[in-house]
Structures are given as structure tokens and as C-alpha cells.
């Protein structure tokens, strides 16, 4: 069964710290992996998409990596800010239909 896991479920860091969020998946036959941000009571905002042929993607202070052989993806956030506080979700796509399989998310709190 294809599963996506995110650990830890919650993380609290002081402002300015660099941090890494982890995502692991059970099936290495992944098409791509997408990272999202969700604010309380809101929808999902796409942050980064990594295709299976890529190893990483960068957008501003965010950098996402993908290692299919180890079944892991990481989201690196540089110089964290209180505005980065949100739940971060990773999701894998395994087939042509493009159906996402989501992790449970990591709730990030950045303290001023």
C-alpha cells in the first residue's frame, strides 16, 4: 500500500532558525511529490512540486529535495519567520490519474 508519513506531527522553533520538515513514502515508483501549506481554516497552497527526474526545487527561502531510493523528501525553510507558522503537507503522485496521497502534515509554529 502506498503511504506517506510526516514526522514530527508538530514543531516549534524560534524565529530566525533554519529548519527541515520530513516526508517519507513507501513506494519508490513515485511520479512526483508536492509540498503544500495550509493555514487554519483555509485551503491548501502549493509550495513546490518535484518531478521524479529532479532531486530538488527551490522557491525563495524554501528548498525541497526528493530521494526516491530512500523514499524521503525534505522541505528546508531558511531564516524562519512567524508568518511561516502553518501546517505543511507533503503528497505523492503515483499514477497517470494524478491522484495525491497525503501525509498527515507537520504543524509548524515559529515563535517571535
Partner 1 sequence: NAGVTQTPKFRVLKTGQSMTLLCAQDMNHEYMYWYRQDPGMGLRLIHYSVGEGTTAKGEVPDGYNVSRLKKQNFLLGLESAAPSQTSVYFCASSAASGGYNEQFFGPGTRLTVL
Which residue lies nearer to partner 1 by CB, 60 or 112? 60
Please pick, from the candidates 34, 65, 73, 106, the single residue that binds partner 1 as defined by CB under 8 A: 34
Which residue lies nearer to partner 1 by CB, 13 or 24? 24
Distance between CA 76 and CA 19 in Å, rounded?
6
Q: Does 97 bind partner 1 (CB under 8 A)?
A: yes
What is the binding site for partner 1 (CB under 8 A)?
Answer: 31-32, 34, 36, 42-46, 49, 51, 89, 91, 93, 95-100, 102-105
Amino acid at each position: 500500500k502506498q503511504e506517506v508519513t510526516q514526522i514530527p506531527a508538530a514543531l516549534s522553533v524560534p524565529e530566525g532558525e533554519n529548519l527541515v520538515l520530513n516526508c517519507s513514502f513507501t513506494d519508490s515508483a513515485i511520479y512526483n511529490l508536492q509540498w503544500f501549506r495550509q493555514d487554519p481554516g483555509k485551503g491548501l497552497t502549493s509550495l513546490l512540486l518535484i518531478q521524479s527526474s529532479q532531486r530538488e526545487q527551490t522557491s525563495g527561502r524554501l528548498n525541497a529535495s526528493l530521494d526516491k531510493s530512500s523514499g524521503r523528501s525534505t522541505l528546508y525553510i531558511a531564516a524562519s519567520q512567524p508568518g511561516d507558522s502553518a501546517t505543511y503537507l507533503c503528497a505523492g503522485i503515483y499514477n497517470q490519474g494524478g491522484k495525491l496521497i497525503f501525509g498527515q502534515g507537520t504543524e509548524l509554529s515559529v515563535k517571535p
